[in-house]
Amino acid sequence: MALMRTDVPRRELPWLGIGTRGEWYDYRDALEASDMAFNVVPRDAKVEFYDPLGTGFGEAITWYDTVPGVQVNVQLDNNRILGCVSNQYGIIQNNDAFSLLEPLTNNGAVITHAGMTEQGLCFMIAEWSNFTVTGDEYKLYIMATNSFNGSYPCGLIITPVRIYCQNMYRKLVRSDNLLHIRHMSLAQQRIEEAKFNFGKISGYITGFSEIMNHAMYVTLTKKKQEHLLSMAFPYPKNEEAERYQISKERIDRMREEFCDVYMSASDIRKYAGTASQFIHAWYDYLSHGEQSRRMAGSWADKRFSRLASGEIKTDVVKEALK
């Protein structure tokens, strides 16, 4: 792990540049500003059939047949198709989904970002209270999510971000750290119940603080660091020699970028030799690494959607804490 950089790298929140940025104290205003104040309706999925000689007299016939068990979710105002799902899928309108933020905005939270990604993730970010863990200040972000394509739940995600280096810790404590509502028949009922159930926020902060304090006292030997690196960036197996070499070179570049953050960032070096150093560097790399600024704009959109859905390697973090 070579020393490659001594300064603190410029890091930004994963959702900056995606959707609309503003300052809203009512989720309805954020819906209007981000063009998400629309309704969605289910339509039958149909397949078009065409027979150029259907009548036997040279006259073509076109007909449609319904696909059993499938529905298409369509944006009502412009007929845009937002998803193709099972007919058991229960649509949760954005107005209902983001009303989950109302108890928070009534108590001082401010909605700062809202929008829909290319992958169909509808989201709002609300900023709330600050707190301190292991000497670092954190700002508490609540991410409300919804979708119409079956890829993302309607729910709330707590995302504490270090104010100094702004690392994102999605999924560190548990999979659904505040609220997760499936798009099924009882979804609307659960939304109403959730408005009165925000006690999990304090519990999350307590659990998060305990984990980060524990990580300060877990020592990582050189052997353990190498083991974690191989878990985070495994080389491909059982491939042809030429293809394997290309893949290995790509993995080597990713390892080098991660080690750059792990060993060089001054704000992370203060945790040197502990699991906390690895955890900070790992989430930094996943959500704010330099490679994101060298990629096309849509890559940032996809990266944010993956983070919001929890598609990150938490097994590496769990191994570091052992």
The mean of the pLDDT values for the chain is 76
Kindly state the average pLDDT of the residues 37-42: 95
In sequence order, what E strands does the chain have?
A: 20-24, 40-51, 61-75, 81-86, 110-116, 122-133, 136-146, 154-162, 179-181
pLDDT at 100 over 70: yes
pLDDT at 254 over 90: no
User: What residue ranges do the domains of the chain occupy?
Assistant: 40-86, 217-320
pLDDT at 312: 54
pLDDT at 6: 40
Kindly state the average pLDDT of the residues 149-156: 83
Look at 10-19, 22-31, 168-177 and tell me which has the smallest mean pLDDT.
168-177
End-to-end CA distance of the chain: 22
- Percentage of the chain with pLDDT > 90? 20
pLDDT at 245 over 60: yes
Residue 163 · residue 138 · CB < 8 Å: yes
pLDDT at 27 over 90: yes
pLDDT at 286 over 60: yes
Put residue 300 in one of left, alpha, beta given phi > 0 → left and psi -120 to 50 → alpha: alpha
pLDDT at 139: 76
Burial of residue 100, with CB atoms counted within 10 A of its CB: 0-12 exposed, 13-18 middle, 19 or more buried: buried
Coil, strand or helix at 90: coil
Residue predicted with more confidence, 300 or 140: 140
pLDDT at 244: 72
Instruction: Tell me the pLDDT band of 24, cut-offs 50, 70 and 90.
Output: very high
What six digits make up the tokens of 66?
A: 């319904």
Instruction: Tell me the pLDDT band of 293, cut-offs 50, 70 and 90.
Output: very low
Radius of gyration of the chain (CA): 23
- Give the pLDDT confidence of 300-313 residue by residue, as tens digits: 666 666 666 555 55
pLDDT at 255: 87
pLDDT at 292: 41
Kindly state the average pLDDT of the residues 135-156: 83
